[in-house]
């Protein structure tokens, strides 16, 4: 009986390691996302002239928009990752369905952004709206420049 437990333990060790690795990758992804969002918020706060009360309202609304976009984007990209990592043969129907979801993704994200554009318009002045869009577009470029320097 003792040998049974000992053998079972050694058989299960590799599976425990795989689970721990998956959890660490998920934690690492969450940490990277949190760091990205904090840098993006700092960039926006630097670019857009906002008072403290305006910034609080703006970032509450901005976080809400980002969460909504993430809830639409995440399942599709999880499916893409699953296909990419799959060792089994993927059917043409699954490829087609996933490609359709990827194509629809831009439309869904644009609809969310358009919905929140109207809410931002009520909160920000026209100049601040312009600065917001300009900063959103320039953030990617500034991140690339930072990474090039490193």
The alpha carbons of the chain give a radius of gyration, in whole angstroms, of: 22
- Which pLDDT tens digits describe the chain residue by residue (150 residues)? 454 444 544 455 555 555 455 556 667 878 888 888 888 888 888 889 888 888 899 999 999 999 999 999 999 999 999 999 988 898 899 999 999 999 999 999 999 999 999 999 999 999 999 999 898 888 888 778 777 776
| pTM value > 0.85 | no
Buried b (16+ CB within 10 A) or exposed e, 24-53: eeeeeeeeeeeeeeeebbebbeebbebeee
Q: Is 70 helix (H, G, I), strand (E, B) or coil?
A: helix
Contact assessment for residue 128 and residue 120, using Cβ atoms and an 8 Å cutoff: no
């Amino acid at each position: 009986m003792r040998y049974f437990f000992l053998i079972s333990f050694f058989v299960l060790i590799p599976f425990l390691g795989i689970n721990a690795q998956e959890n660490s990758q998920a934690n690492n992804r969450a940490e990277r996302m949190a760091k990205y969002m904090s840098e993006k918020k700092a960039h926006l706060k630097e670019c857009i002239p906002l008072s403290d009360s305006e910034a609080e309202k703006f970032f509450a609304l901005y976080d809400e928009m980002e969460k909504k976009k993430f809830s639409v984007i995440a399942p599709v990209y999880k499916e893409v990752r699953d296909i990419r990592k799959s060792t089994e043969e993927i059917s043409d129907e699954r490829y087609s369905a996933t490609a359709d979801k990827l194509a629809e993704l831009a439309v869904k994200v644009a609809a969310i952004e358009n919905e929140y554009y109207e809410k931002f318009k009520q909160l920000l002045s026209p100049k601040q709206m312009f600065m917001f869009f300009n900063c959103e577009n320039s953030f990617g470029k500034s991140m690339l420049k930072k990474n090039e320097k490193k």
